[in-house]
């Protein structure tokens, strides 16, 4: 009886070792995939100003990923975010290397202090000048 317990115990240890090795390989593969897909867009606000209730801002895509205005949000002075595509309909995306002047009118903000933009993990903010 002790020999059969020894055989079963050895078999279970072998199965556990194989499972641990497989889990380790899966973790290494997952880490590699996450590193490859962790590119966030590099959206940058260059400057912002407000004249008679109209917000003027310049922003650029400093990265390699295209940025969709449907997935881009502005927050002015920490208020609720507003979707960029609701205020900008001249184009739907910001291409890598492209710099764009935007005008946001009808936001209800006068004399704001800061504006923040976030898109697909990338983010930037500037003070109004």
CATH number at residue 84: 2.60.40
Is 38 a residue whose pLDDT tops 60? no
Confidence of residue 17 (pLDDT cuts 50, 70, 90): low
Overall domain count for the chain: 2
Q: Are residues 22 and 51 in the same domain?
A: no
Q: Are residues 18 and 55 in the same domain?
A: no
What does each C-alpha distance from 23 to 17, 19, 69 come to in angstroms?
10, 6, 40
CA–CA separation, 59 and 94 (whole Å):
9
> What does the pLDDT look like over 43-89, one tens digit per residue?
999 999 999 989 999 999 998 889 999 999 999 999 999 998 888 77
Higher pLDDT, residue 73 or 11: 73
Give yes or no: residues 28 and 53 share one domain: no
Pairwise CA distance, residues 85 & 73, whole Å: 9
Q: Which of 85-89, 98-102, 106-110 has the lowest mean pLDDT?
A: 85-89
Are 80 and 111 contained in the same domain?
A: yes
Range of the domain at 62: 43-127
Residues 31, 89, single domain; the answer is no
Give Cα 6 to chain centroid, integer Å: 54
70 and 11 within one domain: no
CA 15 to chain centre: 41
Q: Does the pLDDT of residue 115 top 80, yes or no?
A: yes
């Amino acid at each position: 009886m002790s020999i059969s317990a020894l055989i079963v115990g050895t078999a279970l240890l072998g199965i556990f070792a194989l499972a641990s090795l497989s889990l380790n390989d899966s973790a290494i593969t997952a880490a590699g995939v996450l590193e490859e897909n962790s590119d966030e867009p590099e959206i940058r606000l260059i400057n912002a100003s407000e004249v008679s209730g109209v917000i003027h801002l310049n922003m650029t895509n400093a990265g390699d990923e295209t940025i969709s205005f449907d997935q881009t949000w502005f927050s002015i002075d920490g208020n609720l975010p507003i979707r960029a595509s609701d205020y900008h309909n001249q184009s739907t995306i910001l291409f890598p290397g492209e710099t764009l002047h935007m005008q946001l009118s009808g936001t209800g903000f006068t004399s704001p202090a800061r504006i923040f933009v976030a898109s697909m993990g990338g983010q930037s903010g500037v003070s109004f000048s």
